[in-house]
Copies of this chain bind each other. A is one copy, B any other.
């Protein structure tokens, strides 16, 4: 709680990398790494360290390009269709197969198909042959001394073939940059250990190690080091003995009482940067210890992964002689579906999902928390909100670095609306049946789904909206909110809603009337489940103000169940499968119809989803889930 030695700076990204590069330049480490000889069979993906010039021509002799007979073209001048010419074997004509060297004095090949009456002594031809016909001249492909591959070239399969073809058995490629990773933190445990409360699984070394591997480097991960300055210094000393090109210290890079990376670097070498003006990833450290650069990587997983992408991969690319740009992914422009604010002094990197809805490529921001690794897993790209911008408005065009090929993204089916855990099952079936198609779901609640359809921001919406006046589901809301659209309504499933309580139901919850004496966990405004609660509260004459936790909003059934399971709430409303997943007791309050609403222009695009809905195996799998009834699954309810 004390001894805060540092305050974070706000150094712009380019200046921060510039400082490190300048420090490297002074000791000659800004140059691409040296070359090493690697057998061709092991050289795929390596980067040439020098130009590779043909050591031998290819072909290295004049070669027959066809099966047939090698001849002197001058001997054949008299041959015509009406006056065939006889050539004597072994003095005027020599049988050759494709690839054979031309016998001395011959300069052309007659295809076997063009030869008449071959016997053991002669062949007959009926046309003159031009010089070099059906001959692969020496050097046709590569001529000795010719440049075949430049330096700084990433070796592909065909490159290996070309090198072998002109006399190489080994390639001279840049040695791989060596990176040593030191994870730090008292709270860390390895992935194969079960963490206690307060412990977390150390996986940043796994992510950064894989990024380094992908970028052409070699990573070695050291044992986890406790939050202790002396132990960290010992670990860094040990890393230095491995003579790496780069040391990464994971976590401990901020300015808290357990953050020792900056102290260690300052004591052992030189601190160049402490705090970079990027979000997420702000508390990055850069320094030099002896002649080895060292980077302190922030501990939150999204910050760590983006530090790898933005700072470490480009550094490795430069050491490999590749452009730093080489490490960047393809880009595109997309339309932001939500307003976003952004700190004016920072380069802000926002994970987004992308979908092509009609003519527009839409970017929807994902959870911006630095602890949410799944926001990177689910991201189709990274939107860059530059420094000196305060954010982007809804509908504004943003630059997005792509994590997937645009062609695949354009095939994504984007569902917005109510959350149902079984949408994952639907997505799995779609992916298995149509490998290029993916289902992406955004949980914005049933009302949010209808709004998204009205704004043409989704291909379909999942909704379960009980109309209090008619007691029917969905159609009244569709008619009211999508007046100007032609939509098809297809049933996903009937599903069972209920009150989820701690296993054993310690508070003895039986019905809605018990809610005022419990801590409740609610769904967000606009969710069908929220509307169901409000409807039932009104039916039972319960004031929502009397419900403790009514304002505690979660966005999914599973998140509500998790809140109850963790003890932060006593009861929440949700589907049976969520209660089951979190081993909660479930007090059923009834069944509801969950429908998919598909605007007419997107019917063709979502056809794979409709096909899966009607698939017998899918229906059986869904029906086997507790709390789901598939009697109408896949059926068209209405076209409005």
Residues in B neighbouring A165, C-beta threshold 8 A: 201, 203, 301, 373
Interface flags for A365-408 (1: CB within 8 Å of B; 0: not) read 00001011110110000000000000000000000000101110
The reply to whether B131 and A552 form a contact with Cβ atoms under 8 Å apart is yes
The reply to whether A158 and B97 form a contact with Cβ atoms under 8 Å apart is no
Q: Which of A288-296, A427-435, A604-612, A626-634 contacts B (4 or more CB under 8 A)?
A: A427-435
* Chain A residues engaging chain B, CB cutoff 8 angstroms: 1, 40-41, 44-45, 51, 56-63, 65, 67, 95, 97-101, 107, 112, 118, 131-132, 136-153, 156-162, 164-165, 167-169, 187, 190-192, 194-195, 197-198, 200-201, 203-204, 206-211, 213-214, 256-258, 301, 305, 308, 321-323, 325-326, 330-331, 369, 371-374, 376-377, 403, 405-407, 421, 424, 427-428, 431-432, 435-436, 438, 549, 552, 556, 558-559, 561-563, 565-566, 568, 581-582
Residue of B nearest to A313 (CB): B157
Residue of B nearest to A324 (CB): B435
Looking at the assembled complex, report how far the CB atom of A153 sits from the nearest CB atom of chain B, in whole angstroms.
Answer: 8
Looking at the assembled complex, report how far the CB atom of A560 sits from the nearest CB atom of chain B, in whole angstroms.
Answer: 10
The reply to whether B424 and A147 form a contact with Cβ atoms under 8 Å apart is yes
| Contact (A204, B161) CB under 8 Å given A197-B101, A428-B51 | yes
A-B contact pairs, 28 of them (CB 8 A): A40-B203, A58-B373, A59-B200, A60-B197, A67-B257, A101-B198, A107-B568, A137-B562, A137-B568, A138-B562, A141-B373, A144-B582, A146-B421, A146-B424, A146-B558, A147-B424, A150-B427, A156-B210, A158-B376, A158-B377, A160-B210, A161-B203, A161-B206, A162-B373, A162-B374, A162-B376, A168-B191, A323-B435
The reply to whether B101 and A436 form a contact with Cβ atoms under 8 Å apart is no
Looking at the assembled complex, report how far the CB atom of A633 sits from the nearest CB atom of chain B, in whole angstroms.
Answer: 19
Looking at the assembled complex, report how far the CB atom of A547 sits from the nearest CB atom of chain B, in whole angstroms.
Answer: 13
Residues in B neighbouring A56, C-beta threshold 8 A: 194
| Contact (A41, B209) CB under 8 Å given A150-B427, A159-B377, A200-B99 | yes
Residues in B neighbouring A140, C-beta threshold 8 A: 369, 371-372
Residue of B nearest to A437 (CB): B323
Residue of B nearest to A431 (CB): B150
How many Å lie between the Cα of A301 and that of B159 in the bound state?
11
Residue of B nearest to A65 (CB): B371
Residues in B neighbouring A192, C-beta threshold 8 A: 169
Tell me which of B101, B157, B403 contacts A305 (CB under 8 A).
B157
Residues in B neighbouring A435, C-beta threshold 8 A: 152, 321-323, 325-326
Tell me which of B153, B169, B198, B213 contacts A99 (CB under 8 A).
B198
The reply to whether A139 and B562 form a contact with Cβ atoms under 8 Å apart is yes
How many Å lie between the Cα of A94 and that of B157 in the bound state?
61
Looking at the assembled complex, report how far the CB atom of A72 sits from the nearest CB atom of chain B, in whole angstroms.
Answer: 12
How many Å lie between the Cα of A165 and that of B581 in the bound state?
18
The reply to whether B374 and A210 form a contact with Cβ atoms under 8 Å apart is no
Looking at the assembled complex, report how far the CB atom of A526 sits from the nearest CB atom of chain B, in whole angstroms.
Answer: 20
The reply to whether B330 and A112 form a contact with Cβ atoms under 8 Å apart is no
| Dominant secondary structure of chain A at its interface with chain B | loop
Tell me which of B65, B151, B436, B549 contacts A431 (CB under 8 A).
B151
Tell me which of B40, B118, B197, B377 contacts A1 (CB under 8 A).
B118
The reply to whether A210 and B157 form a contact with Cβ atoms under 8 Å apart is yes
How many Å lie between the Cα of A3 and that of B308 in the bound state?
62
Q: Which of A1, A208, A257, A326 has the most B CB atoms < 10 Å from its CB?
A: A1
Tell me which of B97, B322, B377, B566 contacts A62 (CB under 8 A).
B566
Looking at the assembled complex, report how far the CB atom of A217 sits from the nearest CB atom of chain B, in whole angstroms.
Answer: 12
The reply to whether A330 and B152 form a contact with Cβ atoms under 8 Å apart is no
How many Å lie between the Cα of A565 and that of B60 in the bound state?
11
Residues in B neighbouring A145, C-beta threshold 8 A: 421, 558, 581-582
Residues in B neighbouring A151, C-beta threshold 8 A: 428, 431-432
The reply to whether B552 and A139 form a contact with Cβ atoms under 8 Å apart is no
The reply to whether B148 and A377 form a contact with Cβ atoms under 8 Å apart is yes
Residue of B nearest to A325 (CB): B436
How many Å lie between the Cα of A141 and that of B378 in the bound state?
12
The reply to whether B305 and A566 form a contact with Cβ atoms under 8 Å apart is no
Residues in B neighbouring A256, C-beta threshold 8 A: 67, 97-98
| Contact (A61, B377) CB under 8 Å given A107-B568, A157-B214 | no
Residues in B neighbouring A211, C-beta threshold 8 A: 157
Residues in B neighbouring A138, C-beta threshold 8 A: 562-563, 565-566, 568
Tell me which of B41, B100, B558 contacts A139 (CB under 8 A).
B558
Residues in B neighbouring A63, C-beta threshold 8 A: 198
Residue of B nearest to A370 (CB): B65
Looking at the assembled complex, report how far the CB atom of A61 sits from the nearest CB atom of chain B, in whole angstroms.
Answer: 4
How many Å lie between the Cα of A593 and that of B40 in the bound state?
41
The reply to whether B405 and A330 form a contact with Cβ atoms under 8 Å apart is yes
Looking at the assembled complex, report how far the CB atom of A380 sits from the nearest CB atom of chain B, in whole angstroms.
Answer: 12
How many Å lie between the Cα of A219 and that of B161 in the bound state?
16
Residues in B neighbouring A62, C-beta threshold 8 A: 566, 568
The reply to whether B427 and A152 form a contact with Cβ atoms under 8 Å apart is no
